[in-house]
């Protein structure tokens, strides 16, 4: 089975309850503060005066190619301290401080939400010529405001994880 990417979820409708009622579409995938797992899915429907709804990822029962099935359980207690926004575009640094690439997407275990790999970009032209690299996560990562620091980068390879 193919390992899903965070970007695969964006735009998918979320169905809940025994009647499979549509509760929204995924707008953004939110990661835990330590960057180890998907912790929430921001749904559409928030507005100017309404706070965005963030579905607890632990409530997700199935990730399909066209829909998500979930219980209607939202993160309500200060989401910003529990979840952070996507890593897209942040430089990824090895433990020696050398830049490995830019975070383009995350690969994760659909059942647990645990991150398994980062998809790296090396710029538009290099991505077209060589493809984007997949960096398996061999150890913890630390996401800051301006960069991602890997404790133990794995060996990168091109193509998608399966």
CATH at residue 139: 2.30.30.240
Element containing residue 6 per DSSP (H, E) = helix 6-9
- Boundary-marking domain end, from 69, 84, 99: 84
Residue 1, in any domain of the structure: no
134 near 159, Cβ under 8 Å? yes
pLDDT value of position 139: 77
Task: Based on the fold, state whether residues 71 and 27 are members of the same structural domain.
Answer: yes
Domain tally for the chain? Answer: 2
Structure tokens at 69: 């099935």
> Residue 130: phi, psi to the nearest 5?
-115, -10
pLDDT value of position 160: 46
Task: Show the low-confidence residues of the chain (pLDDT under 50).
Answer: 1, 160-162
Residue 145, in any domain of the structure: yes
Residue 108, in any domain of the structure: yes
- Boundary-marking domain end, from 22, 52, 84: 84
pLDDT value of position 125: 92
Residue 162, in any domain of the structure: no
């Amino acid at each position: 089975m193919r390992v899903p990417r965070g970007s695969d979820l964006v735009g998918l409708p979320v169905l809940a309850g025994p009647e499979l009622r549509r509760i929204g579409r995924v707008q953004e995938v939110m990661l835990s503060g330590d960057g180890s797992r998907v912790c929430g899915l921001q749904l559409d429907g928030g507005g100017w005066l309404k706070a965005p709804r963030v579905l607890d990822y632990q409530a997700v029962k199935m990730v399909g190619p066209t829909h998500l099935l979930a219980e209607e359980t939202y993160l309500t207690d200060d989401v910003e301290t529990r979840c952070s926004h996507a890593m897209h575009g942040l430089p990824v640094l090895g433990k020696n401080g050398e830049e490995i690439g830019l975070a383009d997407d995350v690969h994760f275990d659909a059942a647990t939400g645990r991150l398994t790999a980062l998809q790296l970009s090396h710029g538009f032209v290099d991505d077209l010529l060589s493809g984007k690299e997949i960096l398996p996560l061999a150890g913890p990562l630390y996401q800051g405001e301006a960069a991602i620091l890997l404790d133990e980068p794995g060996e990168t390879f091109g193509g998608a994880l399966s």
